[in-house]
Structure 1
Amino acid sequence: MIEVLVVVGPGLVADAGLLEEIAAREFAAAGVSGTLVHARDASDVLSLLSSREGAGCAVVLPGPSAEVRSLIGRDLGAVVWVDVGRADGVTAGKGATHLHGRGIGGVGWGIRHAVHRVRHPSRRIAYGPLPEQWGELYLPDADQPPVVMLVHGGYWRSIWAADIMGPLCADLAGRGLAVWNLEYRRPDLHGWDATTADVAAGLAALATALPADALPPGALSPGADGMSALDLTRVAVVGHSAGAQLALRAVADAAAVGASAAGGARAAAGEVGGVRVVMAVSLAGVLDLVEGDRRWVGTGAVGAALGGRAPEGRAEPPYADASPLLRLPLRVRQLVVQGAADDLDLVDFSRRYARAAEQAGDEVTYLEMPGDHFDVINPATPIWQATARALVEDPASRG
């Protein structure tokens, strides 16, 4: 059984009993054995981390101590560091993860992520030189698998990261699909253009950035100029919440580039840079940015991300370029998934988007089922299981 060690650093402001309750609940839900320990100082933290068993994993809440915080950047293995407050610009050591800004509930996220990493190993691959420019590649036990690129949400804010898509990675890989779970720079720290560029670069990286040793033996074809045995002619791009906006915008941009490069001949396939997108999927997406800003969705998240309020009247850039509703037709098959118990504005966006996409000539399936905003990324729910079946059947059989 997996052993999880949760270490609480000195000076952390949190009710000790509540920390115990959260940890115990997560241990039980994950089916693991766990211990929560309060460390006296940095030396104590190091001692506790060094005592881990081979099958164990560690989550550390460093707290305010400078000595303990100095350990975050050290190479101490696959530690998940969790700051309950926001802590921008922190870079964890090799093999480690830093989560922050999710409040005391971040303890649960940290435990889930630590257990996931033990149970479902992946390869982290950089597609750029900056700390947030990477993706995690999950490979199934299958030859020439189609690929799903996942784009996480979080209202374009840096406190949310690729870890929230981990359960979907494991589920899809178990269904025979390769998964590319993308991290990217968020606009709250880096600006809107950086975010857009990273998602485009992450998609292109499927054909250009995957090293030979990231793939199984024999996965590279001689003379294929580094192209992997992943089937890049059958790629689905899937985004959740704000990530759905980024995903569909990237697909629209790819179709536009392909059309420009080949006089429109490749636009229907969404092909660019050796990657052929055959399906775009929105999971509870923010698909109408103009109305999203006007309705103050995510407490003003849209305007904050794009750098200003939506204009009155005719939409201009960046709204005209960024809003999926204004980029139709995508000329790629689409699946729009929406939980009926989600934010009513998101339900409205999804319904109107699906109708508009169909009217624009796109092939669209609209899937609305019982569920909330996070049920669409929970492998145990009926709405995700229906989504996963569509992902397996569509790119695999119709690419």
Structure 2
Amino acid sequence: MDVTVLVGPELTADLALLESLTTATAADLGGTGRLVAVDSTAALESALAATAAPVVVLPGPTASARALMSGAASHVVWYDLTVSTAVAGARHLSGRGVWGLVWAIRHAVYQHRSPAVRVAYGAHADQWGELRLPTADTARPVPVAVLLHGGFWRSYWGADLMDALAVDLAARGYAAWNVEYRRPDRHGWDATTTDVAAALAVLPVVTDTGALDLDRIVVLGHSAGGQLALRAAADLADPASAPRVALAVSLAGVLDLAEADGRQLGDGAVSAALGGTPTTVPQRYAAGDPMARLPIGVPTLLVQGAGDSPDLVDINRRYAVAARAAGDELTHLELPGDHFDVIGPGSAIWQATMEQVGRYLGR
């Protein structure tokens, strides 16, 4: 498998560094990588037309080159080193600096190897999910794994963080629904929570009737997404709610928002996301803080790498104690690993996670 990175005119970056990242990342994914830099929009358009997937394009600042994003083929991943506005209909990542090229390459490769169907659940460019179904010979209906990415609720992190898990889950026989949502730094906290609820509500119609087992929905959230997963599960805990969550999984989740804000986790990410502190917007913390929502009334699996931030280790340990005391059914896995091992399909901690998920869902 060859991975091509096309660099547009006037991009501000060291090409040798970009090339080394391209080569190393492609090798990690079992392929070879090449970087091609062009000096004009016409040359970029020509190179793009002649390049097979997987391909990543760094368009640069030129308006004519950036215009190519609109209407581009769906297999092309566009990446901006600096923060920029999402382009509707394009596979567009931005704002993660040079390191973000690694994630863009991964996104292109996973989409090439295991294509997902992107389905809008709203009108905004960030209101969509990507659905991957198991192979055709898998018995229907299949359980559903809803994925909620982290990134401290900031817009430059997106659903591509969960691509590897989505591919792995589909291979295990799950329908993987990898959700993008409007982040609060651009759209406000209420937009974020509304989007997560909407992405769950659309599950009955997201694919063919009878394909999904809506009695076996597991919601898995990573980091900030862990908070969103447990909040969504709590919101749907009422027996009259539909669809209900059978299992909520927090992967290194931020599960005590008030304490996390006091400790300034993520350089003040919590109050920035919620629009204030527990004192200034108490109603948002009351509704959104998993610790404040106990008992959430849904079986819960906490997964935490022991080598992660000590604050996250502490928060997850305390949440486990408090949830059990409140009457929730909960399993707490704390195993060797860091913040990203919990979303790495090849890690031991992920294998242990899926053993527990299978136990809960009867698989």
Fold match by TM threshold 0.5: yes
Percent sequence identity over matched residues? Answer: 52
Q: Which runs of 5+ in 2 are unaligned?
A: none
The 3 A distance-change label for structure 1 pair 90 and 101 is same
1:23 partnered with 2:22 = yes
TM-score of the superposition, structure 1-length normalised?
Answer: 0.88
**Aligned equivalents of 2:251 and 2:202: distance in 1?**
23
Aligned-pair distance for 1:366?
A: 0.4
1:165 partnered with 2:132 = no
1:303 partnered with 2:285 = no
* Matching residue of 1:45: 44
* Matching residue of 2:326: 360
1:107 partnered with 2:76 = no
Instruction: Provide the aligned length of Structure 1 versus Structure 2.
Output: 360
What secondary structure does 2:230 align onto? helix
Structure 1 residues 104-146: Cα deviation after superposition (integer angstroms, max 9, x where no partner): 0111111111010010111111111111111111111322111
Aligned-pair distance for 1:74?
A: 2.6
Aligned-pair distance for 1:393?
A: 2.7
Check conservation: 1:337, 1:376, Cα contact below 8 A. yes
* Matching residue of 2:67: 70
Aligned-pair distance for 1:324?
A: 0.2
What secondary structure does 2:197 align onto? helix
Check conservation: 1:58, 1:114, Cα contact below 8 A. yes
Check conservation: 1:187, 1:305, Cα contact below 8 A. yes
AA paired with 1:99? L
Q: Which runs of 5+ in 1 are unaligned?
A: 213-219, 221-227, 259-265
Aligned residue runs from structure 1 range 331-350, under 5 A: 331-350=297-316
Aligned-pair distance for 1:91?
A: 0.7
**Aligned equivalents of 1:194 and 1:129: distance in 2?**
13
Check conservation: 1:234, 1:396, Cα contact below 8 A. no
What secondary structure does 1:336 align onto? strand
**Aligned equivalents of 1:49 and 1:157: distance in 2?**
30
What secondary structure does 2:178 align onto? strand
Aligned-pair distance for 1:174?
A: 1.1
Aligned residue runs from structure 1 range 1-399, under 5 A: 2-53=1-52, 56-87=53-84, 89-92=85-88, 94=89, 96-141=90-135, 142=138, 143-207=140-204, 209-212=205-208, 220=209, 228-255=210-237, 258=238, 266=239, 272-273=241-242, 275-311=243-279, 316-397=282-363
Provide runs of 4+ in structure 1 moved above 3 Å. Answer: none
What secondary structure does 1:104 align onto? coil
**Aligned equivalents of 2:131 and 2:300: distance in 1?**
23
**Aligned equivalents of 1:68 and 1:272: distance in 2?**
47
Q: Which has the larger radius of gyration?
A: 1
TM-score of the superposition, structure 2-length normalised?
Answer: 0.96
What secondary structure does 1:103 align onto? coil
Check conservation: 2:233, 2:244, Cα contact below 8 A. no
Aligned-pair distance for 1:211?
A: 4.4
Check conservation: 1:336, 1:365, Cα contact below 8 A. yes
